[in-house]
Chain A
Amino acid sequence: MFQFTDMFRVDHLSIFVGVFSALFALLSVIYSFAFMRGRKKLARYYLYLLLTLIVSLGCIFADNLLFLSVCWGFLGLLLYLLIAFGEGKRTSYTAKKTFIIIGGTDALMLLGIALIWHLSRTLEMSEISIHLNSKAAISAYLCLVIAAFAKAGAMPFHTWIPDTAEDAPVPVVAYLPAALDKLLGIYFLFRISAQMFVMDAGMNTFLMALGSFTIVAAVMMALIQHDLKRLLGYHAVSQVGYMVLGLGTGNPIGIAGGLFHMLNHAIYKSCLFLSGGAVEKRFKTTNLEKLGGIAKVMPLTFITFLIAALAISGVPPFNGFTSKWMIYQGIINSGKTGGSLWILWLICAMFGSALTMASFMKLINAVFLGQPHESLKLKTIRRADPPPSMYIPMCVLAALCVLFGVFAYRLPLHMFILPCLGRQWEGIVFSGAWQPLLATGLLLLGIVIGFVVYLFGKGTKIRRVEPFIGGETLEEHPDMRISGTEFYNTVRDMESINTVYKLADKKLFDIYELGSKITFGFNAVLRYIHNGILPSYLSWCLLGMIILLKSLFFK
């Protein structure tokens, strides 16, 4: 059992995930050079980042489940230590909460591995093939799924992500919760769902239901956030829903879509966080109400952020569109085997996509466009784009968003994603006609035509008037500005949703808070009993002995 021979496995999937883990680590380190400058204990910070990469490579190339779980658990500790580099007031709380959720689910993973060992007498992932036909098998699968979900941040184990996004240093967020933890979580989910366990329809439906719920619920929470990083954090949760949904379809195209979405998400979400970090570094705030109009002074940041925002919203020709499109096809294909639930999942996925778009409208308006907040003093600044070591990673990621969208088939799908599925992928038939190159060409053509019409047509003659707000001039009354944070207050005030939001504000859906309430309930009862009175303690001993006597003598 503890013979660590044949510990490693190298196949297409592990190479693909490994390469991108290393890429994100590199970008994050480069970004940190400028972002973390001047902070304390930097040597330790870089050591932890490096260790994270090494340990995660161990996870990815592991073939022995036990070895994987050792690396997996150690990553939780490293994340905990890295979050502690944040400078916010709640940092230590967030670090604690994160590690409790991650480390707790790691313990469950151990139970799952023990069950697998019991069932199949081997811990080598490539040799395991278990049918979900007994309680032990189902519990084993669920334990491992919980571990994968907590790492990736799918509901209901997601609550550490928004908190971490807000409190940890930006490069750490961009590297771990946004990129690496997604890669690992979904990688592991793929390994267990597609390779180690033989899935049945019920479990697939369960995964799809959780995925759909995650998409919609998290994006609804994202709509009402007031903090740039926290909002992005909720999107990091919502996007996991797509990946789970894709893997849950159980057919090759859906699974490929899920894996592709995992990659895409890591790219654009890292880009979003890094761009957001540039804003934070310059203006010392991520509160949406205190930002606005900074596209003028940070054009580069604005462009990278915009590209990534369009990608996450699934706008063609960026990468997010292709993977979502594949996931939709997977959902539709899953309907062919019976049942009509697929319609529900499809609606959820598309609705979630629309809401993502909506919330990024708000975000872009509040941060980059719109009226600037008076405290920013934008008029005194000419250029505020970050130094090269920060903008290079942002630009690389933005470029990848475009490349992987336009050349979706040729680059990522053929090189990385489809070989992962082994022989299955030959059977993939893309329904509908989507040629990203052609579409991009048409889109560009459309834009060019529009521009030509604008230059030479009547569009050049426009009427300019002052914006009218109650008869006041905006520039003189900065307090009259519309920040964009209140775009979706109507959603919040809708009656049925209103109560849900209120409950969410009370953290009723936070598995961590729920768990701690139950625990401290038990604790209060037990402490009440332990009153420090000697006779009562002695009487427990007597009682214990009577029970022992009874159980041994009168069976």
Chain B
Amino acid sequence: MIKASDIIPFFVIIPLAGAFLLSLFGRRARWVPDFAAMVAAILLCYLSLLSARLYNTYGLLKYSVGAWMPPVGIGMVLDGLTAFLLVTVNLVTLCVTVFSINYMEKYTSKWKFYTLFLLMVAGMNGVIITGDLFNMFVFLEIASVASYALVAFGTEKHELEAAFKYAIMGTVGSLFILLAIAFLYTYTSTLNMADMANILAEKGSSQIVLMASVLFIMGLGLKAALVPFHAWLPDAHPSAPAPISAMLSGVLIKSLGVYTLCRIFFNVIGLTESISSILMLLGVISMVIGVFLAIGQWDFKRLLAYHSISQIGYVMLGIGLGTPLGILGGLFHLFNHSIFKSLLFLNSGAVEYSTGTRDLKEMGGLSAKMPVTSGTSLIASMSIAGVPPFNGFWSKLLIIFALVEAGRYGYAFWAVIASILTLSSFMKVMKYAFFGELNRKWDKVKEVPFLMKLSMVMLAFICIAGGLLIYGGIGDMFLKPAAEAMLTGTKYGWLILNWLR
């Protein structure tokens, strides 16, 4: 008999198997890599939506790898937060895969690309779904290493330099995470997150836990690109091929950074007042500094990369607040950001595909030649700038309301200022890239191929429809369970272990 919880390992198995098979058979025929990646992406997307439904019918789902019972064996847990992030990651993966089919034609050895791509997806899904702290670290490293290689995929000079910086800083971050896990292990003698949460709740806090918290904030903050640990991002994200930029900014920093921070600080260690204020402070600093840096950029993708820092700041600000409304807003913004930011990166990729440039000064008037690209990027810009009725507006609204409700007027004010500056910088993109007079150079430019258009239109549609996520059924299915999972706090441990017995 098939149990509902049996779908859990497939989130790792499918991409991992895909990557393995591609590396063996990818060179046989031209269509194999595209086909295999497409099948994997569609399956993953379907499974993730299914998992959200299963969670709503069966509640918490749990799976023991190799039938070894936790806390000795590795456990995988599907709760509200997991289901929410799985949907986010795999939805974006699907759109990006569709985009890559045409876009990656200009590179050689597509099979290598898809192998790395699927490895990265396997890592991200693994991080999200695992219930074991060390296992989380392993998946985190899988995703990180795959992304280092993908950033360098073009093997141009600046791409290698960016990948080198990214690898160095990413490794430093990983080491600190490992150290933090080691500290917690010495203190609790377990690696299972639920078990650890229980033991921590019993034994109470100590200097070791504090030290581990600092190391986690630093290491995971680096993965999430919070200021001042952000410096690798503006080099790494623009250097990658556009679909990978979309993955990195859209979901990688969230699943490796934000999700892990949430899981550890909300469900394992427990959110204290001081950690909450540190997370919020980091959020505000990232939000403001990121946008101030973004507005002066002339490289399309670099501008977008700085905006990722700024938007992650919003997410952290909402989540760090720790109130139900704040968490809801933060998570919703996380979802929205992954949609509109991947769309924007795909737009920049489409422009680069057609014109061969990323310099905003060289573009101009492209809306006449590339109506789909300019239309979708207008929608994405409006979303990121928080213009109603697009999805970004609703999540920013929730965050600002939550901040005001908690009496944090100053933070709310900065959130508004950052929103205004975001709008300004995307107005700049619109003006220089798409509107105005057509640059004579681009008289013969054509719109991108069908699959790239399709992928952009899908994401743009979600941008428009995403605002509905907080209403009615859809919101209850995705967002609320995720926020509830975080609000459970360290009771998470009891929930899961009780369920076991």
Residue A22, interface by CB 8 Å: no
Residues of B within 8 A of A107 (CB): 386, 416, 419-420, 423
Residues of B within 8 A of A91 (CB): 436
Contact (A540, B231) CB under 8 Å given A84-B435, A99-B427, A100-B423: yes
Residues of B within 8 A of A139 (CB): 409
Selected from B214, B293, B387, B423, the residue in CB contact (under 8 A) with A549 is B214
Residue A2, interface by CB 8 Å: yes
CB <8 Å contact, A523 and B292: yes
Residue B235, interface by CB 8 Å: yes
Residue A548, interface by CB 8 Å: yes
Number of A-B contacts (CB under 8 A): 145
- Rounded to whole angstroms, the CA-CA distance of A270 and B178 in the bound complex is 68
Residues of B within 8 A of A93 (CB): 431
**What is the total number of residues of chain B having a CB less than 8 Å from a CB of chain A?**
60
Residue A379, interface by CB 8 Å: no
- Using CB atoms, name the residue of chain A closest to B165: A534
Selected from B215, B428, B470, the residue in CB contact (under 8 A) with A96 is B428
- Rounded to whole angstroms, the CA-CA distance of A254 and B54 in the bound complex is 63
Residue A526, interface by CB 8 Å: yes
Residue A104, interface by CB 8 Å: yes
Residue A503, interface by CB 8 Å: no
Contact (A538, B172) CB under 8 Å given A99-B427, A104-B420: yes
Residues of A within 8 A of B289 (CB): 526
CB <8 Å contact, A73 and B388: yes
- Rounded to whole angstroms, the CA-CA distance of A114 and B430 in the bound complex is 30
- Rounded to whole angstroms, the CA-CA distance of A107 and B234 in the bound complex is 27
Which of B42-50, B194-202, B397-405 binds A?
Answer: B397-405
- Rounded to whole angstroms, the CA-CA distance of A249 and B12 in the bound complex is 69
Residue B169, interface by CB 8 Å: yes
CB <8 Å contact, A540 and B214: no
Residues of B within 8 A of A532 (CB): 235
Residue B57, interface by CB 8 Å: no
Residue A103, interface by CB 8 Å: yes
Contact (A92, B435) CB under 8 Å given A114-B412, A534-B165: yes
Residue A429, interface by CB 8 Å: no
Contact (A519, B382) CB under 8 Å given A111-B412, A117-B401, A549-B214: no
Contact (A551, B416) CB under 8 Å given A70-B389, A99-B423: no
**What is the total number of residues of chain A having a CB less than 8 Å from a CB of chain B?**
57
CB <8 Å contact, B413 and A111: yes
- Using CB atoms, name the residue of chain B closest to A90: B436
* CB proximity of B173 to chain A, nearest CB, Å: 8
* CB proximity of B378 to chain A, nearest CB, Å: 9
- Rounded to whole angstroms, the CA-CA distance of A93 and B364 in the bound complex is 12
- Rounded to whole angstroms, the CA-CA distance of A534 and B172 in the bound complex is 12
Contact (A74, B435) CB under 8 Å given A96-B428, A100-B420, A103-B423: no
Residue B73, interface by CB 8 Å: no
- Rounded to whole angstroms, the CA-CA distance of A59 and B419 in the bound complex is 22
- Rounded to whole angstroms, the CA-CA distance of A203 and B165 in the bound complex is 55
CB <8 Å contact, A548 and B278: yes
Q: Main SS of the interface on chain A?
A: helix
CB <8 Å contact, B296 and A520: yes
Selected from B168, B207, B385, B397, the residue in CB contact (under 8 A) with A534 is B168
- Rounded to whole angstroms, the CA-CA distance of A533 and B91 in the bound complex is 36
Residues of chain A from 57 to 114 with CB closer than 8 A to chain B in the complex: 66, 69-74, 76-77, 84, 89, 91-93, 95-96, 99-100, 103-104, 106-108, 110-111, 114
- Rounded to whole angstroms, the CA-CA distance of A540 and B90 in the bound complex is 34
Residues of chain A from 486 to 538 with CB closer than 8 A to chain B in the complex: 516, 519-520, 522-524, 526-527, 530, 532, 534, 537-538
CB <8 Å contact, B296 and A524: yes
- Rounded to whole angstroms, the CA-CA distance of A93 and B420 in the bound complex is 17
Residue B449, interface by CB 8 Å: no
Residue A552, interface by CB 8 Å: yes
Residue B217, interface by CB 8 Å: yes
- Rounded to whole angstroms, the CA-CA distance of A289 and B168 in the bound complex is 65
Residue B63, interface by CB 8 Å: no
Contact (A537, B231) CB under 8 Å given A523-B295, A555-B274: yes
Residues of A within 8 A of B470 (CB): 2
8 closest A-B pairs by CB: A537-B231, A523-B296, A104-B420, A92-B436, A114-B404, A73-B388, A70-B388, A544-B228
* A residues apposed to B, CB below 8 Å: 1-2, 66, 69-74, 76-77, 84, 89, 91-93, 95-96, 99-100, 103-104, 106-108, 110-111, 114-115, 117-118, 136, 139, 516, 519-520, 522-524, 526-527, 530, 532, 534, 537-538, 540-541, 543-545, 548-549, 551-553, 555
Question: What are 8 A-B contacts defined by CB distance under 8 Å?
Answer: A72-B388, A73-B387, A110-B400, A114-B401, A114-B404, A115-B404, A544-B229, A552-B210
